Structure 1
């Protein structure tokens, strides 16, 4: 997105002022003496794109309901869009006649850009530049994290990185026997050796199954023999009872 025109209709000390930017320029420089309103113009860009906050420092000349900004912007294809912004709770994007426009009118131009990231990465004021410099100096030489913090506003990245490194160091360090990972790894290795000692290999498993099959076959053979023996015993018992009965009959005949 490129800014083609910024209209400071009623904003801060401005009324009816416009900044027009050449469409073919690669760089625009807005200059002026101290207190000329450069910071106000920069803040106006943020309010224009993302809306006025609940409280504003730029309503000292006009009532908050009268604040107006306008702009013409263009996308990467060169397509232009003109709109105005008013102070309010809803429908703050308006047209030249103050008719409400869609709230998401700028979504295609801004993408995922938020106000905070815009103000810290693109709309840097003098105070923001100083804060970014302090971040650079306070990050112990970690320039990548420092630049990230200065641009995005996500401070404390270096502290978080150090905390994560300390946590990782508490878990594992090569050749350190007291770290939690090393202790758990030793327990794992001991358990693995114990499993290897007591595990049943394929050949042993095969021998046990063969032994079970042989025992089952012997059991079946013995069971068949036991049934045969029980049959023989029952026959012998019947013969014995018949013999005793026949002997008793013979004895009775002799005595009579």
Structure 2
């Protein structure tokens, strides 16, 4: 949306005044600066533009020359490449008028603004000393609709409020003062249990050294016992072999005795 012309027909100190911003000059910045001394009407002009977009406020302070019933602001707005001649008057309903003073739907402007409301638009695009100070404090304090809506609108995060609620819920689940249970509380309890178990199984360095020496002696005794077992097993196998051969030895002796008796027999 571009402002081609702003008409201060009957508003504040102005009567039938117009500000023409001229056509767009391709290839050059489309930036206009309105300047003037104090009380020249710069703030009044800004307020008139905001009232054109969002409606003249119910208790407007710009009726000191023109009564509410006669206040009138006009403009030529380039909306989506189409120039619209619009007028705003002071009425609770149907205050946005088109050609022939026919009522126009508010969606024509609000749709172009992406649904941004007046206070957010002021905080983002109509900054003055008060707005900068209050909006900055609100944002830094991370509270209030102004700071939240400003951040949401400027970043396109339409669901910022819901996201913040979910994050707060998650944070409360991690830790919440005086809550009966929380993730941090559960972890602290588990840590305490682990410390107690550690103390139960912990040992002094001197005791550990004694246990290592005992283990080494036990291993040496084990190796010695295994060697004795091996020697005993070999001796046992030898004895078994002898016992197996003993009956044959008796038989062999009998055969030798029989042969000895036959020595005198002629061949």
Give ranges in structure 2 of 5+ residues lacking alignment: 177-181, 191-267
Q: 2 CA distance for matches of 1:84 and 1:46?
A: 13
The DSSP-based 3-state class of the residue aligned with 2:175 is helix
1:124 matched to 2:135? The reply is no
Over residues 115-145 of structure 1, what are the superposed CA-to-partner deviations in whole Å (9 max), with x where a residue is unaligned?
Answer: 1211111122321022233346656xxxx98
Structure 1 portions without partners, runs of 5+: 180-256
Q: 1:22 to 1:174 in 2, by over 3 A?
A: farther
C-alpha deviations, 1:89-124, integer Å up to 9, x for none?
A: 222112354333344333442331211211111122
How many residue pairs are counted as aligned between the two chains? Answer: 172
For the pair shown, the structure with the greater C-alpha radius of gyration is 2
Structure 1 position 32 matched with structure 2 position 32: no
1:233 is aligned to none
Using a 3 Å threshold, how does the CA distance of structure 1 residues 127 and 97 change in structure 2: closer, same or farther?
same
Of the three residues 159, 184, 187, the one matched with 1:176 is 187
Residues 12, 146 of structure 1: alpha-carbon distance in 2 compared, 3 angstrom cutoff = closer
Q: CA RMSD in A?
A: 3.7
Partner Cα distance (1:65, 1:41) in 2: 19
* Residue of structure 2 equivalent to 1:90: 93
* Partners of 2:110 and 2:116 within 8 A in 1: no
2:47 counterpart of 1:43: yes
Q: Secondary structure in 2 aligned to 1:148?
A: helix
Correspondences of 1:34-183 after superposition (within 5 Å)? 34-76=38-80, 78-135=81-138, 138=141, 148=151, 165=171, 168-170=174-176, 171-173=182-184, 176-178=187-189
Residues in 1 aligned to 2:117 and 2:150: alpha-carbon distance in whole angstroms: 18
Residues 1:120 and 1:173: Cα distance change in structure 2 (over 3 Å): same
